[in-house]
Structure 1
Amino acid sequence: MKLYKTLSSATQAREDVTALKISIKGEQFPSELLDFPNLEELYLEGNCKEFPFEGITWERLKVLSIKWPSFTGDLSLLFRLPKLENLKIIDTPLKTFLLPLGHAAAPVKSLTIKDCGFKSLPEEIGMLGSLTEANFSGNNLSALPHGFLDLKLLKRLNLDHNQFKIFPDLIKKMPNLSHLSIDHNPFPEEEKERIQRIFHIWVN
């Protein structure tokens, strides 16, 4: 699989492009990026502030990585992409994200939303029924929604560097979860002792 690294070279071979990695220099999302019908992997960095809600033809996209420190918009539309399996959003400010009620959710297996500053996960997180790995480290989470229990295939969960003061007990009810990291949260000492006693987890 050839990885294209400039938009100009990619647009000259639009039908052949399956993997693209570019840095967006300006604040505006380049509209020509929307029309790559055979794109399977996309890696985006730069200074983009908004993401378009219409015109996307990424029907085959499986892997998407975004790192936009200046972002001010919404990325909820990404959860409608029909083939998306691996979504990674890093250092991209997000207040929250929504899942597509009334639409089929993307078949995401691996989800990373790291260092994005969001405070809560939507109750509809359970719509991502294919999820096996989630990394929500470096945010401002203090609780997990009840819908989290619907992630029955989840095996790995990273909640490091958040704002948990009480351990989310519902995690214990997740049958396939085999790896949990929840270090560097502001647990009081008595809560750390409870976590060790009841859940047999030692947290830093």
Structure 2
Amino acid sequence: MQTPDFTEMSNLEYLDLGNCINLEEVHHSLGCPTKLKRLNLIYCRRLKRFPCVNVESLEYLDLKFCSRLEKFPEICGRTRPNLKIKMCDSEIRELPSYIVQCLTLRHLDNLVALPSSIGMLKGLVILDVSNCYKLESLPEELGDLVNLEKVDASGTLISRPPSSIVRLNKLTFMSFAKQRYNVSLEEGMYFAFPQVNEGLRSLEDLDLSYCNLKVGGLPEDIGSLSSLKELNFTGNNFEHLPGSVAQLGALRSLDLKECKRLEELPDFMGMTNLMTLNLSIINIGHLPQSINQL
């Protein structure tokens, strides 16, 4: 199944081909409608080929669940700064350098890399690469995204976040969590979080569950995350936490569930706002006196 010829549709602004489950190819004339703003191809599960979209007006492109699409569509001409792209569950392996704003890149099972030019996307607020099971790294240029507020890289193979990530002082949420049974780091590969260096000043929620964290995997200056409220270390392998954890005065929730090798708990004296402490399935023999201050 193929779409019709778009040559005479010069005023076309919105094209919805969603749920065309037998669509295998979009006609090469799609570049003719120079006013096209929205293009919806969600659930075109047989779509394999896609022509060049020669438009500067495109604002929204939805490629979710195009599970046979292997190559990202080529967008010729200058893209709009507010271009929004949604993708998940496709065979796409790499993203082009011209993407301006990405909202959802979840479940791209074959995505192995993000372009270094991602650092040019100064308006990007949310980067979601969760469940991109083959993604092993993020580019150092990530630190140039000064407006970024959320990074969700859960369910990936990333074990070394770029050191530049600590420059993201508007970031409020960050996750590199692994999935207990589905995605985990290879044997002998351990997660390491970079030195904070007084950065990440707005970070409120950090999830590093099942990251195979060991002693040395957390920076000694993690206590400088002065805005941190939620901290999830579920299922990690460290024997103790950096001493500066005790300085997390804004922390409300600390999850140490299933940290079976944990031998001692931090001093809780400085955690004056802590309301939730999860210590289930751990082997600690005694609790610190400071826990009575909670």
User: TM-score normalised by the shorter chain: which range applies?
Assistant: 0.7 to 0.9
Matched, 1:40 2:135: no
Comparing 87-96 with 11-20, greater Cα deviation is found at: 11-20
Report how far residue 171 of structure 1 moved.
Answer: 2.4
Sort the Cα spacing of 1:107 and 1:173 in 2 relative to 1 into closer, same or farther, 3 A: closer
Q: Report the equivalent of 1:156.
A: 253
Q: Is the 8 A contact 2:249 2:270 kept in 1?
A: no
CA distance in 2, matches of 1:9, 1:32: 16
* Residue of structure 1 equivalent to 2:103: 20
Pair 1:27–1:144, CA change in 2 (3 A): same
Q: In 2 relative to 1, CA 100–162 (structure 1 residues): closer, same or farther, beyond 3 Å?
A: same
Q: Greater relative contact order (Cα 8 A, min sep 6): structure 1 or 2?
A: 1
Aligned pair 1:132/2:229, yes or no?
A: yes
TM-score under structure 1 length normalisation: 0.77
Q: Does the alignment pair 1:122 with 2:219?
A: yes
Q: 1:66 aligns with which of 122, 137, 153?
A: 153
Query: C-alpha distance in 2, partners of 1:32/1:8?
Result: 18
How far apart in 2 are the matches of 1:3 and 1:140?
43
Superposed, which structure 2 residues align to 1:173-192 within 5 Å?
173-187=270-284, 191=285
Residue of 244, 247, 250 corresponding to 1:147:
244
Pairwise CA RMSD of aligned residues? 3.3
Range that drifts further, 75-84 or 177-186: 75-84
Structure 1, unmatched stretches of 5+, are none
TM-score relative to the length of structure 2: 0.56
1:96 correspondence with 2:216:
no
Q: Tell which structure's C-alpha radius of gyration is larger.
A: 2
Aligned residues between the structures: 193
**Partners of 2:60 and 2:170 in 1: how far apart?**
19
Structure with bigger strand share is 1
Q: C-alpha displacement at 1:29, in angstroms?
A: 2.4
Q: Which position in structure 1 is the counterpart of 2:66?
A: none
Unaligned regions of 5+ residues in structure 2, if any? 1-58, 64-71, 85-100, 179-183
Identity of aligned residues (%): 21
Q: Deviation digits for residues 13-45 of structure 1, max 9, x if unmatched?
A: 443546611136232223354332211112103
Q: Is the 8 A contact 1:136 1:159 kept in 2?
A: yes
Deviation at 1:199, TM superposition (A): 4.7
Most deviating of 7-16 and 83-92: 7-16
Evaluate the alpha carbon distance shift between residue 80 and residue 24 of structure 1 in structure 2; reply closer, same or farther with a 3 A threshold: farther
Amino acid at match of 2:244: G
Write the letter of the residue equivalent to 1:141. F
Moved more, 53-62 or 123-132: 53-62
Letter in 2 for 1:65: D
Instruction: Provide the C-alpha distance between the structure 1 equivalents of 2:206 and 2:199, rounded to a whole number of angstroms.
Output: 17
Structure that is richer in helix per residue: 1
